[in-house]
């Protein structure tokens, strides 16, 4: 069915009106229905009006039903007090905070586990994908066993399994102690929390400047290699460029950073930062599950590169690490990136299974808000919009990277 622009719609309407005013109405109608473009336009117009009427009916019916139940449609409920607490939070929050802030806390929890999961799953996936092609029989079979087992067990069962192990750790009074600084128990891992003083801003500034210098040095080394073919130890040099200034500035500025050490009380700990077992279990389960799929994607991408490339590199006496990093992976990434993007999206959406183990992510917090406020349609709409935005944002960033590494024909 042809597509029309706004200008063409107006033009078609004028044609229909002009033909309808003609004295020879029969011939006009024949001309109208004989023109394929006008006929297509009319059919699209009828379908559009029909869809709009259906939408108006559902909106009117839903509003009427909500009013009968004493519920006012809209998003004003987001400013009402929440009256419930959230254990895992990255920003200030208490039971008197609004529903909207509770939603924000849940969203940050989802972003936290998603970002951490994507990073770890990528490391696991690329490592397992390369090792599965190893000539070492034992290493190859161990990775194969991990991939086949993990991929064929539902991710929800894996989340519950790891959560059960972590909650089976000793109780708070019998916490596993690491130097009176780190404590491990069934409530999570209690670690020291940093206290940033005003002087710490100088260290942050030095870190940003070091990153900028390292980036320009990377561009210089890349252009130098393209022109002369000579390599530059960019990783080692950039490591010292970033690390040394921070160490010097940290020793130069006094009282820029201090640590709050957790102290054991009668029933719990005071101070420090607690990483909940729900977060660790969800992060590890999603990472290992998604990493198994990524490993197969990486393996197929590597196998898509012609063996002649590897044989030619071996004939030049290049090391295997250099062959993998400089020759095989740049070509394999063109095959790897599109399905890799889908796995990132799956990991983000699978994080909603956190409700099964009590991790208060975006869906879990939203479910509590739905039960207390009764605004089911609005809460579900927020869920859909947020997850759609996360998926589109991830796809957008991965597509940008995919275009950068795409093979450009000359």
Gap between the Cα atoms of 290 and 150, Å rounded: 9
Gap between the Cα atoms of 242 and 246, Å rounded: 7
pLDDT of residue 23: 47
What is the chain's pLDDT, residue by residue, as a tens digit (410 residues)? Answer: 555 566 666 566 666 555 555 445 555 656 666 667 777 777 888 888 989 988 888 777 777 776 777 667 778 888 888 888 888 888 888 888 899 999 999 999 999 999 999 999 999 999 999 899 888 889 999 999 999 999 999 999 999 999 999 888 888 888 888 887 888 888 888 888 887 777 788 888 888 999 999 899 888 888 888 888 777 888 888 888 888 888 888 777 776 777 888 887 777 788 778 888 899 999 999 999 999 999 999 999 888 888 888 888 888 888 877 888 888 888 888 889 989 999 999 999 999 998 888 888 999 999 999 888 878 888 888 999 999 999 999 999 988 888 887 765 55
Contacts with 37 (C-beta within 8 Å, 6 or more apart), sequence order: 2, 12
pLDDT of residue 107: 93
Instruction: Say whether 213 sits in a helix, a strand or coil.
Output: helix
Gap between the Cα atoms of 363 and 352, Å rounded: 6
Gap between the Cα atoms of 326 and 332, Å rounded: 11
Contacts with 324 (C-beta within 8 Å, 6 or more apart), sequence order: 130
At 163, list the tokens.
């959560």
Gap between the Cα atoms of 374 and 369, Å rounded: 8
Q: Note whether 114 and 377 are within 8 A (CB).
A: no
| Cβ neighbours, 10 Å, residue 231 | 11
Instruction: Say whether 184 sits in a helix, a strand or coil.
Output: strand
Dump the DSSP string for 96-111. TSBHHHHHHHHHHHHH
The helix or strand, by DSSP H or E, that contains position 352, with its residue range, turns out to be none
β-pairing, 273-275 vs 193-196, is unpaired
The helix or strand, by DSSP H or E, that contains position 270, with its residue range, turns out to be strand 269-270
pLDDT of residue 15: 60
**Which residue bears the tokens 């991929």?**
151
pLDDT of residue 7: 63
pLDDT of residue 292: 94
pLDDT of residue 344: 94
Gap between the Cα atoms of 11 and 33, Å rounded: 16
């Amino acid at each position: 069915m042809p597509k029309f622009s706004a200008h063409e719609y107006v033009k078609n309407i004028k044609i229909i009106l002009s033909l309808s005013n003609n004295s020879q109405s029969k011939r006009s109608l024949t001309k109208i229905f004989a023109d394929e473009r006008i006929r297509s336009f009319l059919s699209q117009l009828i379908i559009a009006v029909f869809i709009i009427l259906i939408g108006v009916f559902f909106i009117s019916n839903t509003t009427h039903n909500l009013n009968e139940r004493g519920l006012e449609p809209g998003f004003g409920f987001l400013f009402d007090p929440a009256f419930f607490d959230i254990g895992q939070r990255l920003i200030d929050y208490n039971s008197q905070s609004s529903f909207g802030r509770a939603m924000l806390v849940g969203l940050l929890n989802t972003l936290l586990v998603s970002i951490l999961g994507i990073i770890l799953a990528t490391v696991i996936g690329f490592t397992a994908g390369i090792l599965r092609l190893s000539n070492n029989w034992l290493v190859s079979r161990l990775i194969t066993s991990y991939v086949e087992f993990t991929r064929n067990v539902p991710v929800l069962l894996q989340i519950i399994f790891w959560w059960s192990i972590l909650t089976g750790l000793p109780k708070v009074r019998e916490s596993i102690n690491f130097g009176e600084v780190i404590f491990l128990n069934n409530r999570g891992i209690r670690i020291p929390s940093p206290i940033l003083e005003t002087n710490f801003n100088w260290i942050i500034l030095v870190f940003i400047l070091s990153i900028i210098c390292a980036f320009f040095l990377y561009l210089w080394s890349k252009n130098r290699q393209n022109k002369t073919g000579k390599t530059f130890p960019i990783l080692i040099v950039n490591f010292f460029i970033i690390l040394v200034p921070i160490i010097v500035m940290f020793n130069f500025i006094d009282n820029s950073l201090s640590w709050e050490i957790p102290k054991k009380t009668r029933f719990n700990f005071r101070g420090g930062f607690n990483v909940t077992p729900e977060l660790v279990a969800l992060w590890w389960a999603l990472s290992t599950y998604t990493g198994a799929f990524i490993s197969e994607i990486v393996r197929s991408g590597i196998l898509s590169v012609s063996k002649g490339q590897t044989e030619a590199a071996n004939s030049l006496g290049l090391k295997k690490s250099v062959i993998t990093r400089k020759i095989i992976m740049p070509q394999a990434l063109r095959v790897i990136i599109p399905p890799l993007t889908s796995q990132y999206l799956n990991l983000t959406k699978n994080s909603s299974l956190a409700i099964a183990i009590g991790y208060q992510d975006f869906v879990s917090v939203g479910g509590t808000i739905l039960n207390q406020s009764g605004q089911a349609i609005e809460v579900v709409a927020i869920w859909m919009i947020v997850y759609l935005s996360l998926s589109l944002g991830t796809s957008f960033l991965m597509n940008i990277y995919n275009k950068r590494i795409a093979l450009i024909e000359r």
